[in-house]
């Protein structure tokens, strides 16, 4: 009865929105950052190497990788110095060159929100200051890792909140760092906040528009890892991030898809994801996401609960996790299970 009542509320909200009387819901809507990296126009015009550079909008990550492998170290560094925002965000560019390019971009950016990201020793794989800012960071050695994980966060995450000090295990940096600490030296974990996330619980969080844009970016990012020789990752998708992963699943290079605290994946069941990846789901009993109706009406809502047995996902124990952001907390069964999935010790 409780879930039925919640479903009626969702249907009522959908009708209200469709008929144009829910203007309050659009007050916090976000514009997705899309398209090629900033600085692309100057990159396209540059002939410093006496050759055409790969087009950030049209070239595939595999084509970008082939181009950069054909350059000398000095030529690579020249491009990173002249176009750090392009090189640092261009999927298919060698990992360590991206680190250097993004370090240059961060040192040149005086926005105080990004000051921590510029700290020495951080491995920033992507930094895009457009909009609220997007960032990806690597924990471990991505060049030599035998096992790789990617963490995809949910709402309220951007370059400024990427590694906030409150609610640590609700941030992509905190989740990735905790997972990396639990795995062995042969593993690397990427905290990927590479899409425009919803802010709060408004209309963006209830619809799939930002997730669709995020799915495109996540897919290209994973293609870039593959082009650079990185093993297929286990992808951990938290909250609204699981909507992103659900929409990307059919074309995402992933060994495992793990959703936690999910409002739905915009799929009826595992088969509806059309993926060869193993699909896992975790939800603890104290997670408020359980109060979100698992329906989709007129584009509102994200469909069935991936943690429900009928969805068909493999179960991840999470009884001792607490709240919506406790899944990566040290000592929890869920974190131990995540590490086992990352290291391919789970069946």
Domain containing 321 — which CATH number? Answer: 3.40.50.1820
Tokens encoding 55: 């087009």
Q: Which of 176, 156, 200 is nearest to 327 (CA)?
A: 176
Q: Is residue 259 part of a domain?
A: yes
Q: Is 318 domain-assigned?
A: yes
Higher pLDDT, 242 or 110: 242
Write the pLDDT tens digit of every residue in 210-229: 999 999 999 999 999 999 99
Domain membership flag for residue 81:
no
Domain encompassing residue 253 = 2-13+115-342
Residues 6+ apart with CB under 8 A from 205: 155, 198, 240, 263
Q: Does a structural domain hold residue 84? A: no
| Per-residue confidence (pLDDT) for residue 312, from 0 to 100 | 98
**Residues 77, 85: Cα–Cα separation, whole Å:** 13
The number of domains in the chain is 1
Residue 214 lies in a domain: yes
Mean pLDDT value of segment 185-193: 98
Q: Mean pLDDT check: name the lowest of 13-17, 107-111, 125-129, 238-242.
A: 13-17
- 105 part of a folded domain: no
- What pLDDT band is residue 12 in, cutting at 50, 70 and 90? very low
Residue 166 lies in a domain: yes
Residue 102 lies in a domain: no
Q: So what's the pLDDT on residue 130?
A: 96
Rounded to two decimals, what is the model's pTM? Answer: 0.92
């Amino acid at each position: 009865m409780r879930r039925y009542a919640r479903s009626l509320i969702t249907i009522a909200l959908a009708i209200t929105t469709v008929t144009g009387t829910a203007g309050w819901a659009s007050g916090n809507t976000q514009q997705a950052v899309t398209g090629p990296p900033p600085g692309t126009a100057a990159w396209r015009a540059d002939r410093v190497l006496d050759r055409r550079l790969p087009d950030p909008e049209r070239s595939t990550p595999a084509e970008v990788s082939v181009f950069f492998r054909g350059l000398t170290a000095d030529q690579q560094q020249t491009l990173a110095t002249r176009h750090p925002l392009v090189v640092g965000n261009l999927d298919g560019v060698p990992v360590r060159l991206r680190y250097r390019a993004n370090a240059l971009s961060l040192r040149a950016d005086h926005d105080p929100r990004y000051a921590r990201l510029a700290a020495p020793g951080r491995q920033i794989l992507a930094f895009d200051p457009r909009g609220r800012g997007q960032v990806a960071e690597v924990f471990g050695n991505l060049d030599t890792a035998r096992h790789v994980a990617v963490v995809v966060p949910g709402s309220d995450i951007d370059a400024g909140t990427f590694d906030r000090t409150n609610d640590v295990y609700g941030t992509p940096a905190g989740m990735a760092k905790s997972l990396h600490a639990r795995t062995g030296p042969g593993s690397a974990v990427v905290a990927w906040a590479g899409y425009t996330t919803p802010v709060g619980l408004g209309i963006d969080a209830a619809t799939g528009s930002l997730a669709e844009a995020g799915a495109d970016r996540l897919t290209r990012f994973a293609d870039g890892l593959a082009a650079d020789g990185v093993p297929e990752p286990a992808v951990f998708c938290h909250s609204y991030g699981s909507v992103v992963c659900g929409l990307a699943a059919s074309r995402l290079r992933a060994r495992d898809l793990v959703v936690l605290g999910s409002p739905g994946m915009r799929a009826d069941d595992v088969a509806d994801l059309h993926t060869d990846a193993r699909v896992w789901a975790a939800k603890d009993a104290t997670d408020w996401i359980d109060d979100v109706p698992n329906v989709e009406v007129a584009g509102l809502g994200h469909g069935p609960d991936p943690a429900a047995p009928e969805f068909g996902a493999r179960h991840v124990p999470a009884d001792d996790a607490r709240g919506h952001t406790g899944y990566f907390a040290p000592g929890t069964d869920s974190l131990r299970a995540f590490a086992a999935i990352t290291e391919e010790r789970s069946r």
